[in-house]
Amino acid sequence: MKLDFDTAEEGRGRATFGIVVLASDETLEPEVARLTLPLGIRLHHTRIAMAAQVRSDTLAAMERTLPEALRLLPAAADFDVIAFGCTSGATVLGSEAVARAVRTVFPRTRVTDPLAAIVAAARALEARRLGLVTPYLPAVSERLRGALEQAGFDIVASGSFAQGDDRVVARITPASIRRAAEQLAGAAACDVLVVSCTNLRCLDILAELEERIGVAVISSNQALGWHMLRLVGIRDPVPGFGRLLSHH
């Protein structure tokens, strides 16, 4: 028996976001979903192949495969913003190159990435002096430091877990991140502490960290969710995840 059916367009909510997630990332999707879905956002993800070892050469290789990953997003969705969900990848490729790659597939959408989002967030918080926590190997950490300095910030303290395996990064405990943040905040006075990497699990400790160290804390996933929302004019406060989402 052939059954009859009707079709209807599903309500698109307040906005539709697409995110390209690394194959090795286990943290970005649930954290960004917690920041955006309660505000009526429709959220779609695609994955991009990435070697488990996070090095400058493996990150640079994603420029070639990014359009292919983007084509796996639903073609019928009318995306308001598409994000490339890799801080170190955006650092190595450059935010402008990321945007160009996205617009080869989605020419009219707004584009962001965690590096661009961190820069925008730090400026919104009127920060000049940054502390920086990363999980990366030294060469990648230095690239990120240089990118933030080029954007006009002073990096007054920095430290890294010096880990190249993204599977290990996803398992670094929030307690370890808390200790690292407190150590760096105590080393030099900063306006904002940045915890970089979409695979570090730190969303739930951001507000606590701010209370403990006395300055605002920006994480890659927090900044990415905030920036996507702001790009479409959504300014609803999202309490519980740091000053950036509560007040800015």
Asked whether residue 12 carries a pLDDT value surpassing 90, the answer given is: no
| Torsion angles phi and psi, residue 232, rounded to 5 | -105, 10
With tokens 């983007």, the residue in question is: 70
pLDDT over 70, % of the chain = 99
Report which DSSP code applies to 109: S
- 71 contacts: CB under 8 Å, gap ≥ 6: 105
What is the rounded CA–CA span in Å between residue 112 and residue 65? 17
Provide the Cα torsion 176, 180, 183, 187; round to 10°.
180
pTM of the model: 0.94
Q: What is the pLDDT of residue 43?
A: 96
CB atoms within 10 A of CB 53: 14
Q: Which of 178, 159, 135, 189 is nearest to 25 (CA)?
A: 135
Q: What is the mean pLDDT of residues 187-214?
A: 96
Asked whether residue 194 carries a pLDDT value surpassing 80, the answer given is: yes
Q: What is the pLDDT of residue 157?
A: 97
| Torsion angles phi and psi, residue 105, rounded to 5 | -110, -40
Three-state DSSP class for 119? helix
Asked whether residue 135 carries a pLDDT value surpassing 80, the answer given is: yes
Residue 170's identity, in one-letter code, is: A
Q: What is the length of the chain?
A: 248
Q: What is the per-residue pLDDT across 32-60, written as a single tens digit (0 to 9) for each?
A: 999 999 999 999 999 998 776 777 787 88
- 26 contacts: CB under 8 Å, gap ≥ 6: 170, 199
Q: What is the mean pLDDT of residues 161-182?
A: 96
Q: What is the pLDDT of residue 79?
A: 96
Are 110 and 172 within 8 A, CB to CB?
no
Are 96 and 90 within 8 A, CB to CB?
no
Quote the distance between the C-alpha of residue 100 and its chain's center: 18
Q: What is the pLDDT of residue 74?
A: 94
Asked whether residue 11 carries a pLDDT value surpassing 90, the answer given is: no
Q: What is the per-residue pLDDT across 76-102, written as a single tens digit (0 to 9) for each?
A: 899 999 999 999 999 999 999 999 999
Write down all domains in the chain, each with its CATH number in brackets.
15-114+224-247 (3.40.50.12500), 116-219 (3.40.50.1860)
Asked whether residue 145 carries a pLDDT value surpassing 90, the answer given is: yes
Which residues, listed in sequence order, are joined to residue 112 by a DSSP beta bridge? 83
